[in-house]
C-alpha cells in the first residue's frame, strides 16, 4: 500500500468526511481521555485532513482513546473523530500483523469491577 492509498484507506475505514470539520474543538472539549492523549481528537481529524500520515501512525493516543464515542455524539458537523482514531488504530494493528487478543483469552484476566463498556472497547481496540 502506498502512502496515498493508506491515507485513503484510513479515510474509508473511518467512514467520515473530515472536510466537514469546522474546527470548533467540541470533540476535544468533551473528550474524557483528553489529558492522556498525545494527539487530541480534533487533531486526528485535522491531521487526516492534511494527510499527515506519519504523525497519525506514530501517535500513542490511539491506545488511550476510550472509544466512548462522546466526540462523535457531540460533533455539530456529523464528523466522527473516534472513527478516525479507530481507523488509524486498525491501520497500525494491521501493519503489525495479527497480534490482537482473542475473546477466549479475556475471562481469566477480567476483573469484575471493570465496566462492560471498557471491555467492549478494549476488544474493539485489540482484536483487529
Partner 1 sequence: MQRIGVFICWCGSNIAATVDVKKVAETIKAEPGVVFSDNYQYMCSENGQQLIKNAIKEHNLTGIVVGACSPRMHEATFRKAAEAAGLNPYMVEIANIREHCSWIHKDMDEATEKAIVLVRTAIAKVKLNAPLTAGESPVEKRALVIGGGIAGIQAALDIADAGFQVDIVEKNATIGGRMAQLDKTFPTLDCSACILTPKMVDCAQHENIDILSYSEVEEVKGFVGNFNVKIRRKARFVDETKCTGCKICMEKCPSKKGLNEFNMNLDTRPAIHIPFAQAIPNVAVIDSTQCIKFKTGKCGICQKFCEAGAIDYEQKDTFIERKYGAIVVATGFKPIALDNFNEFGYADNKDVITSLELERLMNAAGPTNGVLLRPSDGEHPKVVTFIQCVGSRDTSGCGKPYCSKICCMYTAKHAMMIREKYPDTEVHVFYIDIRTPGKNYDEFYRRAVEQYDVDYIKGMVGKVYNENGKLMVQGSNLIDNEQVTIASDLVVLATAIEPEPSVRKIATLLTASIDTNNFLTESHAKLRPVESPTAGVYLAGVCQGPKDIPETVSQASACAAKVIGLLAKSKLKTNPCVATPDEAMCNGCSQCANVCAYGAITYVEKEFRLGGGKTEVRRVASVNPAVCQGCGACTVTCPSGAMDLRGFSSKQIMSEVEAICKK
Chain residues binding partner 1 by CB under 8 A are 20, 22-31, 34-35, 40, 42-43, 70, 74-78
Evaluate whether 38 touches 61 at the Cβ level (below 8 Å). yes
Q: Measuring CA to CA, which residue among 30, 51, 58, 54 is closest to residue 42?
A: 30
Q: Is 78 exposed, middle or buried (0-12, 13-18, 19+ CB in 10 A)?
A: exposed
CB of 103 to partner 1, least distance (A): 33
CB of 49 to partner 1, least distance (A): 15
- Residue 42 or 89 with smaller CB distance to partner 1: 42
CB of 36 to partner 1, least distance (A): 11
Amino acid at each position: 500500500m502506498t502512502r496515498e492509498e493508506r491515507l485513503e484507506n484510513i479515510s474509508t475505514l473511518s467512514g467520515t468526511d473530515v472536510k466537514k470539520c469546522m474546527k470548533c474543538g467540541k470533540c476535544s472539549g468533551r473528550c474524557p481521555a483528553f489529558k492522556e492523549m498525545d494527539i487530541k481528537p480534533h487533531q486526528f481529524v485535522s491531521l487526516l485532513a492534511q494527510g499527515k500520515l506519519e504523525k497519525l501512525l506514530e501517535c500513542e493516543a490511539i491506545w488511550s482513546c476510550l472509544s466512548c464515542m462522546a466526540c462523535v455524539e457531540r460533533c455539530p458537523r456529523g464528523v466522527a473523530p473516534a472513527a478516525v482514531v479507530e481507523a488509524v488504530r486498525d491501520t497500525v494493528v494491521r501493519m503489525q500483523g495479527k497480534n490482537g487478543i482473542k475473546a477466549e483469552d479475556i475471562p481469566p484476566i477480567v476483573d469484575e469491577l471493570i465496566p462492560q463498556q471498557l471491555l467492549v472497547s478494549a476488544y474493539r481496540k485489540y482484536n483487529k
